Chain A
């Protein structure tokens, strides 16, 4: 299970002193979270981010997903209409389970980050057998 943490600078759009600065936008990426067996899977959409712009950190129970947009060569091009905006991505979760850090699997493909977080053996539910007295 992962619970989302609100970071101070991770609103839908982050702006410094109320100004619109398209160069420094940070978005909250859309995520899918599900558990499959003993693994928690987090999938986050980060379109426009290249493989080397993804940064995942797990510090104690705090999982931070960060994507830095790869600037596109737009020289000689002029924006004529804009329905979406581009920016970096940031989302933070606290994990309620112990994660086996050595077995975390992260994959990045087509702008999507997929994280597989296996629970450690000791946090897996234990079956306790009841003996008839």
Chain B
């Protein structure tokens, strides 16, 4: 929107507060980690390397064997279940903010993934999956001949 100094309401712009509120709300939603706000879980980041794509996801509290990673054509799926929280008669809960239950997320990538070109690591609660681009998908240098 074009910003002008023209103000038909003078100093008592009735929409000023609303705009300010909107700005604050936008800031609120743009910042922080929106973990609880959406149905998609886990959140993933993607990085592009020279010949590979790296996907990372934060899955604290899980162990390697709790995560199931499957790849089919262009689709990569992460499935997992969080360990059951402590139960018992003598347990009194005060706060429960950490994620629980099971999740499944499938992400479509822009290229076919070859299963033997995947390197997955789980370190300090962060899953890092590096996928090599297939030969056919890599950019090729074309020699230009002089006539």
Query: Which residues of A does B touch, CB under 8 Å?
Result: 1-2, 12-13, 15, 20, 27, 30-37, 41, 43, 45-51, 70, 74, 76-85, 110-112
Sample (23) of A-B pairs whose CB atoms are under 8 Å apart: A2-B94, A15-B31, A27-B32, A30-B35, A31-B97, A32-B85, A32-B96, A32-B98, A33-B94, A47-B59, A79-B46, A79-B47, A80-B46, A80-B47, A80-B48, A81-B45, A84-B33, A84-B44, A110-B61, A110-B62, A110-B122, A111-B124, A112-B60
With both chains docked as a complex, state the minimum distance between the C-beta of B47 and any C-beta of chain A, in angstroms: 4
B58 near A77 (CB under 8 angstroms)?
A: no
The 10 closest A-B pairs by CB, nearest first: A111-B125, A47-B125, A47-B58, A111-B60, A83-B43, A84-B43, A30-B97, A45-B60, A12-B32, A47-B60
Range for the number of chain B residues in contact with chain A: 35 or more
Q: Is B134 an interface residue (CB 8 A)?
A: no
With both chains docked as a complex, state the minimum distance between the C-beta of A110 and any C-beta of chain B, in angstroms: 5
Cα A34 to Cα B32 with chains together (Å): 26
With both chains docked as a complex, state the minimum distance between the C-beta of B43 and any C-beta of chain A, in angstroms: 4
What residues of chain A lie closer than 8 Å to B97, measured between beta carbons? 30-32
Q: Beyond A77-B54, A79-B46, A111-B61: 20 further Cβ-contacts under 8 Å?
A: A12-B31, A12-B33, A13-B31, A15-B31, A20-B31, A31-B98, A32-B85, A33-B95, A36-B86, A36-B90, A45-B61, A48-B126, A77-B47, A78-B47, A80-B53, A83-B43, A83-B44, A110-B61, A110-B124, A112-B60
What residues of chain B lie closer than 8 Å to A36, measured between beta carbons? 86, 88, 90-92
Query: Which residues of B does A touch, CB under 8 Å?
Result: 31-33, 35, 40, 43-50, 53-54, 58-63, 85-86, 88, 90-99, 122, 124-126
With both chains docked as a complex, state the minimum distance between the C-beta of A32 and any C-beta of chain B, in angstroms: 5
Cα A68 to Cα B98 with chains together (Å): 19
With both chains docked as a complex, state the minimum distance between the C-beta of A112 and any C-beta of chain B, in angstroms: 5
With both chains docked as a complex, state the minimum distance between the C-beta of B122 and any C-beta of chain A, in angstroms: 8
What residues of chain A lie closer than 8 Å to B50, measured between beta carbons? 76
What residues of chain A lie closer than 8 Å to B61, measured between beta carbons? 43, 45, 110-112
What residues of chain A lie closer than 8 Å to B53, measured between beta carbons? 80
Cα A77 to Cα B130 with chains together (Å): 11
Nearest A residue (CB) for B44: A83
A111 near B46 (CB under 8 angstroms)?
A: no
